[in-house]
């Protein structure tokens, strides 16, 4: 055999073996869309449902472009629609497989250089997150309680920490509840939850004592452990849960956890196709994982703020997804705006400023979201969309620390504000 050919064969083989994991995204590309008005947002949202278009970032007309991923299946129809409506577009990622491979290499080499005891400055696995929660709880039994909410669909424990200097018995303290990674691929959100634990328990600074003394905390770093694990082992861009209901659809797994809550369930911004990324599930709370979030909201009547952390896009959003504003919208906006402004102070110059507002008016309609469900129960409920910079969901691990630190500044600010408002309510 020709030596060159042999070499080529070995090379091809090596490449195939090595890249097999991301083959799923063969022929997928990512585009920016220049949105002109809300009509363009409507068209985009229809494509999401009709073509199963994966919207990475929704965008704001005239301000922020939408980012979408096309597949070989929907590519042609997508461009027909975009051209028909005269929407301008440009390429962002030509070959998603190549970018996924590069991302995996970066994450792997970053992990090898790092101190494994600090999972909040890394992309930890589900097991590493549990180890961290267990260690923090066992080293700080006076202020930290580890709770196992129950099993996920695939029977992974959904765990969270309760942090309190008074074991959740002081009625004068508001509770701050945050969770992360309801959408599996939004990896950068879990470190923010872990870093918050770190700052409250392991690295409490003198000027932040009030946060621990005056507020109780509930922090759930992984809402959707099955999807999270799957995004580590098999499909980096997996978004949904991993429930399997062959009687409804034998091919597709999971539902969009963030459409699965019992608030305007299955009305707008959803698809009835069980394979869609915005499939809300057969019924509200069909997923055990969203049920655990509901239980926390219902069981703790002092929760004043619920922060449902996502990536990406630099948004702080509040209810309702049907454009109706909550009664206390002025204050909700005030706390959200202050949180965003405090993060903006520390942001990288290349990052977008935070945009703050009603999720429907800023982005587009939705139903069954965690944010909306939270808003029915607690005074302040937000979707926080962390930065993606130029990487989208595939933020290089070098940026995790930056995102942790800047986001913590926003969390601190929001915690102090809701404490103040809670005092006002108590003193009325
Ligand atoms: C905190 O309260 C729970 C009951 O709600 C109790 O089981 C637990 O032992 C208490 N922990 C501490 C450290 O007092
Ligand atoms: C399940 O999903 C696949 C892929 O979208 C589709 O072709 C099939 O018709 C669906 N089956 C049912 C029963 O809905
Ligand atoms: C929007 O949803 C909220 C929360 O369920 C509800 O209170 C409000 O009435 C809804 N608005 C409309 C116009 O349906």
Q: In this predicted model, what pLDDT tens digit does every residue of 20-71 receive, in sequence order? A: 889 999 999 999 999 999 999 999 999 999 999 999 999 999 999 999 999 9
CATH hierarchy code of domain 28-94: 3.30.70.340
- Residue 118 pLDDT: 84
Mean pLDDT of 404-414: 98
Nearest C-alpha to atom 14 of ligand 1 is from which residue? Answer: 167
Q: Whose CA is nearest to atom 5 of ligand 2?
A: 275
Q: Find tokens 């103040």 and name the residue.
A: 420
Measured distance CA(125)–CA(184) in Å, rounded: 12
3-state secondary structure 216-245: EEEEECCCCHHHHHHHHHCCCCCCCCCCCC
Dihedral, CA atoms, 408, 410, 414, 416, nearest 10 degrees? 60
Place of tokens 């799957």: 230
Catalytic residue, candidates 48, 81, 229, 385: 385
At residue 4 the predicted structure's pLDDT band, cuts being 50, 70 and 90, is low
Ligand 2 cavity residues, CB under 6 Å:
249, 251-252, 274-275
Overall average pLDDT of the 72-90 stretch: 98
- Ligand 3 in contact with 324 (CB < 6 A)? yes
| Nearest Cα residue to atom 4 of ligand 1 | 167
Averaged pLDDT score across all residues of the chain: 95
pLDDT at 12 over 80: no
Query: 3-class SS at 84?
Result: helix
Neighbours of 85 (CB within 10 A): 13
* pLDDT higher than threshold 60 for residue 3: no
What percentage of residues in the chain have a pLDDT greater than 90?
A: 93
Over residues 96-117, the mean pLDDT reads 91
Q: Which of 51, 252, 282 has the most ligand 2 atoms within 8 A of CB, as the residue to mutate? A: 252
pLDDT category of residue 115 using cuts at 50, 70 and 90: confident
For ligand 2, atom 12, name the residue with the nearest CA.
249
Pick the ligand that lies closest to the CA of residue 373: 3
Report the nearest atom of ligand 1 relative to the CA of 141: 13
Preceding peptide of 312 cis, ω within 30°: yes
Report the greatest alpha carbon distance in the chain.
Answer: 88
DSSP assignments along 1-18, one per residue: --HHHHHHHHHHHHHHHH
Would the pLDDT of 299 be above 80?
yes
- Which tens digit of pLDDT belongs to each residue from 222-275? 999 999 999 999 999 999 999 999 999 999 999 999 999 999 999 999 999 999
Are 314 and 299 spatial neighbours (Cβ–Cβ below 8 Å)? no
Task: Determine the average pLDDT of the residues in 306-313.
Answer: 98
Question: Fold for domain 119-235+280-426?
Answer: Aminopeptidase (3.40.630)
Ligand nearest to the CA of 52: 2
- Average confidence (pLDDT) over 77-102: 97
Question: Is residue 394 classed as helix, strand or coil in its secondary structure?
Answer: coil
186 is catalytic: no
pLDDT at 85 over 80: yes
Query: In sequence order, which ranges of 126-265 are alpha helices (DSSP H)?
Result: 126-139, 189-197, 209-213, 225-233
- Whether the CB-CB separation of 310 and 393 falls below 8 Å is answered with no
Query: Given pLDDT bands bounded at 50, 70 and 90, which one contains residue 428?
Result: confident
Query: Tell me, what's the pLDDT at 2?
Result: 52
pLDDT digits (tens, 9 = 90+) for 15-29: 444 458 899 999 999
Cα 48 to ligand 2 centre (Å): 17
Sheet with 66-70: list strands edge to edge: 54-57, 66-70, 29-34, 88-93
**Residue partners of 332: CB distance under 8 A and separation at least 6:** 318, 326, 379, 380, 381, 382
Average pLDDT on 193-217 reads 98
Percent of the chain residues past pLDDT 70, beyond the cut: 95
The model's pLDDT over 148-169, given as tens digits with 9 standing for 90+, comes to 999 999 999 999 999 999 999 9
Three-state SS letters, 287-304: CHHHHHHHHHHHHCCCEE
Give the domain ranges of the chain: 28-94, 119-235+280-426
């Amino acid at each position: 055999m020709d030596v060159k050919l042999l070499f080529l064969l070995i090379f091809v083989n090596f490449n195939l073996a090595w890249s097999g994991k991301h083959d799923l995204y063969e022929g997928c590309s990512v585009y920016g869309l220049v949105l002109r008005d809300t009509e363009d947002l409507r068209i985009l949202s229809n494509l999401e449902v009709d073509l199963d278009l994966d919207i990475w970032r929704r965008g704001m007309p005239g301000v922020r472009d939408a980012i979408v991923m096309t597949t070989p299946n929907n590519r042609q129809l997508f461009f027909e629609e975009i051209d028909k409506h005269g929407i301008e577009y440009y390429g962002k990622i030509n070959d998603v497989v190549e970018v996924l491979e590069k991302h995996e290499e970066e994450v792997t080499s970053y992990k090898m250089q790092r101190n494994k005891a600090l999972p909040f400055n890394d992309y930890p696995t589900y097991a590493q997150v549990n180890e961290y929660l267990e260690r923090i709880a066992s080293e700080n039994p006076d202020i930290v309680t580890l709770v196992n909410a129950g099993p996920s669909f695939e029977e992974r424990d959904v765990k969270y920490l309760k942090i309190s200097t008074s074991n959740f018995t002081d009625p004068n303290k508001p509770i701050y509840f945050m969770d992360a990674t309801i959408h599996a691929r939004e990896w950068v959100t879990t470190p923010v939850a872990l870093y918050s634990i770190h700052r409250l328990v392991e690295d409490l600074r003198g000027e932040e004592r009030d946060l621990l003394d005056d507020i109780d905390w509930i922090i759930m770093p992984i809402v959707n452990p099955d999807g999270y694990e799957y995004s580590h082992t098999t499909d980096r861009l997996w978004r949904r849960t991993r429930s399997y209901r062959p009687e409804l659809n034998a091919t597709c797994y999971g539902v969009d956890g963030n459409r699965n809550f019992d608030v305007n369930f299955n009305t707008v911004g959803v698809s009835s196709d069980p394979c869609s990324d915005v499939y809300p599930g057969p019924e509200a709370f069909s997923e055990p994982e969203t049920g655990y979030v509901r239980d926390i909201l219902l069981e703790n009547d002092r929760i004043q703020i619920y922060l449902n952390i996502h990536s990406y896009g630099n948004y702080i959003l509040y209810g309702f997804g049907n454009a109706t504003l909550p009664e206390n919208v002025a204050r909700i906006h005030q706390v959200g705006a202050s949180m965003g402004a405090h993060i903006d102070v520390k942001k990288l110059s290349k990052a977008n400023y935070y945009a703050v507002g009603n999720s429907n008016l800023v982005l587009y309609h939705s139903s069954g979201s965690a944010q909306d469900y939270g808003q029915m129960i607690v005074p302040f409920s937000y979707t926080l969309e962390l930065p993606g910079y130029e990487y989208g969901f595939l933020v290089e691990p070098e940026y995790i620390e930056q995102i942790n630190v800047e986001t913590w500044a926003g969390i601190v600010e929001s915690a102090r504000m809701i404490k103040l408002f809670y005092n006002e309510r108590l003193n009325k």
